[in-house]
Amino acid sequence: MNKTSLLLAFFALASAAPAHAQGKVKIKHKPGKTAPAPAPAPIAAATDWSAKYAEMVNAERLRTHLAVLASDEYEGRETGMKGQHMAAAYIAEQFKNAGLTGPMPNSADPYQQHFNVEQVTWAEGNSLKIGKTSYKWLVDFYGLSDSPFAEETTVKPVFAGYGIEQPGYSDYAGLDVAGKDVLIALGEPTAPDGKALLSADGSPTKWGNDYRAKAQMAAQKGARTVFFVSFDPNTNFAKQAARLGPFISRPTTVMVTEKPSRTPSFFLAPAVALQLLGTNAADMKAYLAKINQTKQPVASKFKVLPMQVKAVRKRVPLETENVLGFIEGSDKKEEIIVLSAHHDHLGIQNGVVFNGADDDGSGTSAIVTMAEAFAQAKKDGHGPRRSLLFLSVTGEEKGLFGSEYYSKNPVFPMAVTMADLNVDMIGRTDVAHEGKPDYVYVIGSDKLASELKVINEAQNKQYTQLDLDYRFDDPADPNRFYYRSDHYNFAVNKVPVAFFFNGVHADYHKESDEISKIEFPKMEKRARLVFHLAWELANREGRVVVDSNKP
């Protein structure tokens, strides 16, 4: 072999040597030639901390908390009552034990946000009189919501026909009811076959279906109160009043406000209304028939008489509380992610405890468990970049009271609150998904920030693979769930929200909503999705942008 062949053989051998041996061979390269770069050493895979700490959000831990909150000892957790206070104390203790801080400023109880609501009942001795004729409460008339008649008051209502206003039909045209009391007939114009005349297809409109649409319209017109009456001859007012009596007499809980949230509504027996209008059943029937015939409001010739009304509401203050646990972030700590659920339920009714295991013991147990997982991550040096507020609210069942109070008295300004992830009922299966893959309803995730929905879908694809059902995002959906849980009080303040929900089931708002019926594997999976979404939102570089305003 000559020198050239030997040299070529040497270079061939050197180039074929393993990467780890090449550094031991000194090769003189010709000018202009570049030495081959050594292969990079293998890089260890980065730990997925979201997956690691999500393991703490497990069925065993969820069951531990739910077994306490949904026990008979907590008496159904009714707002302002013993069991609700016990639930708040338990949640605060779990937050403290996990290492979360209580963010309430200048408070001896930094984990609880205390405020008052009112328990309201109708007083004895309410009365109504027209001329010399006296009428009885819960026999001839009754009221719902509030009342301005704390003392006997002379009232002369304005008769507003059916109290309807829509394109092409207005009972309020030329009628000033601002500051006045209004008398309105229930129902709506109908054809002889009973079909509604104000709808395109003859189906009942909102005016015929629900008195509240008329009460809302009267409120928009400035009315002080509304008196409703049904002139339907098939209506048995006395029987209806007797049936509603226990409900009307039961104490209700309301927010402490300067004015009622709804226009006070009263209901009169037909005989009372006819005397008030100075007419009789035959003339009223003819008047309504003329409206049906013309499909237009008809000016009445009724001469309304004055009446004396006394309808007193007794008010007793009740203390209640939200519970707050806080984990401070690192470099983006000024921005806040809220994880919310409500710990109240329906209390004791007729001696039976309504434990509310799914509603919302499941959501409350979930956010407590997620708080423990995030707190452990911070202890281990893997805390979130943004701060996290775990918010367990009271009074949801009474009207979103706790979240309303927090939104008006936020510990952290709404302007720095990046999102609210609300968990309300995640432990059961509704009829629509029986026998189908694991699912969760996600409501409102793109109504304010389109990116929030995209991020949630990415987390679901990577970790939980749930069927994400968006059917309740439809603004025409009659359930209106978007407006019925605590995320809504964040949404009205332009904070992006996502509401996680399993839908209603046969035990919804019944005494049978017990822990024995909770499906913990499903609950675990849904809670983990919320955890992964919170982890991503808390640690990503950019804040989600409010870029949409969907109804």
Question: Which DSSP string do the residues of 243-279 spell out, in sequence order?
Answer: HHHHHHHS-EEEE--SS-SS--EEEE-HHHHHHHHT-
* Residue 532 lies inside a defined structural domain of this protein: yes
* Residue 417 lies inside a defined structural domain of this protein: yes
Same domain, residue pair 333 and 305: no
* Residue 146 lies inside a defined structural domain of this protein: yes
Same domain, residue pair 350 and 306: no
Q: Is residue 323 pLDDT above 90, yes or no?
A: yes
Condensed to tens digits (0 to 9), the pLDDT of residues 457-479 reads 999 999 999 999 999 999 989 89
How many C-beta atoms lie closer than 10 Å to residue 134's C-beta? 11
Domain boundary, last residue among 283, 311, 339? 311
Mean residue pLDDT of the chain comes to 92
The two beta strands, 439-443 and 352-354, are: unpaired
Same domain, residue pair 248 and 293: yes
CATH of the domain at 333: 3.40.630.10
Q: Cis before residue 360, ω within 30 degrees of 0?
A: yes
Q: Is the model more confident about 10 or about 311?
A: 311
Residue 262 confidence (pLDDT)? 76
Cα 129 vs. chain centroid, distance in angstroms?
42
Same domain, residue pair 128 and 112: no
Same domain, residue pair 294 and 349: no
CATH of the domain at 129: 3.50.30.30
* Residue 480 lies inside a defined structural domain of this protein: yes
Q: How far apart are CA 235 and CA 271, in angstroms?
A: 12
Same domain, residue pair 247 and 373: no
Condensed to tens digits (0 to 9), the pLDDT of residues 151-206 reads 999 999 999 999 999 999 999 999 999 999 999 999 999 999 999 999 999 999 99
Integer angstrom CA distances of residue 450 from 339, 483, 541: 19, 19, 17
Q: Is the model more confident about 358 or about 209?
A: 358
Q: Which residue type does 295 have?
A: K
Condensed to tens digits (0 to 9), the pLDDT of residues 403-432 reads 999 999 999 999 999 999 999 999 999 999
Residue 257 confidence (pLDDT)? 75
How many domains is the chain built from?
2
- Would you say 383 and 324 are in contact if contact means Cβ atoms under 8 Å apart? no
* Residue 229 lies inside a defined structural domain of this protein: yes
Using a 10 angstrom Cβ sphere, with 0-12 exposed, 13-18 middle and 19 or more buried, the burial of residue 23 is exposed
Q: What percent of the chain has pLDDT over 70?
A: 91
> pTM value?
0.80
Condensed to tens digits (0 to 9), the pLDDT of residues 260-289 reads 667 899 999 999 999 999 999 999 999 999
Same domain, residue pair 159 and 234: yes
Here the tokens at position 527 are 């809670």
Residue 549 confidence (pLDDT)? 87
* Residue 40 lies inside a defined structural domain of this protein: no
Same domain, residue pair 339 and 228: no
Same domain, residue pair 219 and 152: yes
Domain boundary, last residue among 248, 283, 311? 311
* Residue 147 lies inside a defined structural domain of this protein: yes
Domain boundary, last residue among 284, 311, 338? 311
Full domain range(s) for residue 424: 49-116+319-539
Residue 551 confidence (pLDDT)? 86
Using a 10 angstrom Cβ sphere, with 0-12 exposed, 13-18 middle and 19 or more buried, the burial of residue 119 is middle
Same domain, residue pair 306 and 403: no
Same domain, residue pair 194 and 261: yes
Q: What is the mean pLDDT of residues 351-378?
A: 98
Same domain, residue pair 79 and 139: no
Residue 261 confidence (pLDDT)? 61
